[in-house]
Chains A and B, each alone.
Chain A
Amino acid sequence: MIGQALTLSRLRKSYGDIVAVNETDLEIDAGEFVSIVGPSGSGKTSLLTLIAGFEPPSSGAIRIGDKDITYLPPYLRDIGMVFQKYALFPHLTVRQNIAFPLKMRRRAAKSTIAARVEEMLELVQLPQHGDRYPSQLSGGQQQRVAVARALVFDPPVILMDEPLGALDKKLREVMQIEIKRIQERLGATVIYVTHDQEEALTLSDRVAVMHQGSLQQIGTPAELYRRPSSAFVADFIGAMNFVPGILVGGEPGKHVIQVAEGIVLKATSGGRLAIPSKGSAVCLAIRPEHIKLAPRTGKAAGMLAGAVEASIFVGPTQIVLVRPEALPGIVLRVQMPADQIAGLERGALVAVAFDEAMLQAFPARERLAA
């Protein structure tokens, strides 16, 4: 049956001393689209390999619905998989490729299989291409066939390993919409691995961020963007500015942080980790759209003063890079509406104001680890 829940409990994989996947717990609901993102080497492909069953885990369990599949061989798992390079069988036609999983199962009669294959060709909008060989199709068409082949046997869970990695940007955007359309129509449970965080945010109900073999955070795209649980997630999802500072006061959840001589900011706690104590080093994170700039003439106490280093046109908004005088080595990335940039050309002197409600503090060591 298509679209079932997937549960990973304390799943772990190590090769000798190298831990590829740290004890991971993950619950994915039936019909949910979950992306796993992370930099290369973060363990996301290893996690997918374990779910697909190409390698056994060192410990932990995998369940689909109520069924434990931890040690089931891949061909008995009924998991549909789309590979990064599609892995369409080059010696079989498109039709034969799509029929392959049905023939393996011997559930249906020949005529049923043929009808089902036509149905899938229709779904991925390739009804005329059934008799071609994969090498006669474009990258995007091969990708559609790979999706059709992974879906045709109504798998409870579908895994996609960077399926759009080999396509160019324009085609990738078209295919994203296509995959989302098919997934929603069929109610399929999809686990989608990508290193492209933008793609993950576009497609997913929830996004899981992996780093160094561990699951850092899982949440809706908005949650990850607004309330990252660690400095790593804050940095990985969307653009983020980081400013180091020292905790000088405040109460739990509301901190007072000194970032430079005479400049003190208020910030909320970022994530789950409590900031230890007064005097400890922290790191402040703020999104480019939560910084305001104003032209200045002189310099006042308590004001973060800087100079515009560059102003970059990106369409509806403008990216302004500012180098604050009091924070050596830091360049702030500020995003503002294109109609508010008067007087902010290169070299202009500006006053920098943070939207303190959006300022989040993380323990400083965490930033270093990221």
Chain B
Amino acid sequence: MRQPQPFSRSLRLKGRPRARSMRSYAPAASWILIAPAMAILAIGFLYPLLRLIMLSLSAGPSATYGRLLREPLYATVLASSVVTAVSVTFACTVLGYPVALAMARLRKRAAALTTACVLIPLWTSVLIRSYAWIVLLQRNGLINSVLISEGLTQGPIKLLYTQGAVIVAMTHVLLPFAILPIFSTLRAVPNDYVRAAHSLGAGKIKAFFLVTLPLSLPGVFAGAILCFVLALGFYITPALVGGPESMMMASLIGQQTTVLLDWPFAAALSTVLLAITLLIVVAFRKSLSFSKGLSSVY
């Protein structure tokens, strides 16, 4: 049996005619044509990355990577970063899916309004949105004053500078990155599939879980990976609303570069963060491609 084709292609096979380049080039000519793009990538991306790794080794591996392993603090920060990123990704996907579905199903004007509600926060500065959460969560902030005036608590609860605050604020900031890819795949699912499911006897709920949801999974995964990668390296929001016990890797790296000026160690931390990000993304995709039923999706 042939290897199942990627899902996006099978969708396109049935819809519009596939766009295809009219020209083809000899291999040598192709290499020449992509050389400028390769050069930009090499200079702007590969070279700095190499320099980063070399910098991390410049003080001797035991002073940087060794220290990372020896002192448990760093492993704790790393673990807490991963846990935070996973929680935020989960929250973004679960909260974002219904919004994306509504955007895809609503009529023109309502859909435009919903899209604006998703995009305007995205275009607003992360700094402003993070400060907004400080206003809401602080000791005499909106939430605490409502809780106290309603008699639900005696005194103010500690909301700000907690792991919870970090997750809530980051979810808010990253939600559009989950919604938009899910929305675009949902929009690409032809209405005929849902109608076909109905005509074959699937009610609304079954049609959603057996047809719409599986067909939108590529968007869910794209959104989840985007959220996860962004969350793992997030700096501003955790630095503002998080406390010392919820310190993230990015804050740690920032501290090393700007306060302690230990650049080799900062470079080592960055390298480890990059490696872990890649590892988790690859593992995520691999585990999906093995799961039954999704094999034609990926």
User: Which residues of A approach B to under 8 Å, CB–CB?
Assistant: 52-54, 73-81, 83-91, 100-101, 104-105, 131-136, 149-150, 153
Contacts and interface: CB of A to CB of B under 8 A. Distances in A.
A75 B9 CA distance: 29
B289 interface: no
Given A74-B199, A101-B200, A136-B2, A90 B296 contact: yes
Interface stretch (B138-146, B190-198, B270-278, B279-287): B190-198
Given A52-B199, A75-B201, A101-B200, A135 B13 contact: yes
A137 to B, nearest CB: 10
A203 to B, nearest CB: 21
Contacts of B206: 104
B201 A87 contact: no
Given A87-B190, A87-B192, A90-B11, A54 B201 contact: no
Contacts of A83: 192, 195-196
B218 to A, nearest CB: 10
A86 B14 contact: yes
Contacts of B4: 133, 135-136
B293 A85 contact: no
Contacts of B10: 90, 133-135
A76 to B, nearest CB: 8
Contacts of A73: 198, 203
B63 to A, nearest CB: 51
10 contacts: A54-B195, A78-B201, A81-B200, A86-B14, A88-B196, A100-B197, A100-B200, A104-B200, A104-B202, A133-B10
Interface in B186-242: 190, 192-193, 195-203, 206-207, 210-211, 214-215
Contacts of B193: 87, 89
Given A87-B193, A91-B215, A75 B294 contact: no
A87 B215 contact: no
B49 interface: no
B5 A74 contact: no
Interface string B70-87: 000000000000000000
B189 to A, nearest CB: 10
B297 interface: yes
Interface string B46-63: 000000000000000000
Interface string B7-32: 10111011100000000000000000
B265 to A, nearest CB: 47
B92 to A, nearest CB: 24
B201 A153 contact: yes
Contacts of B293: 91
A105 B201 contact: yes
B37 interface: no
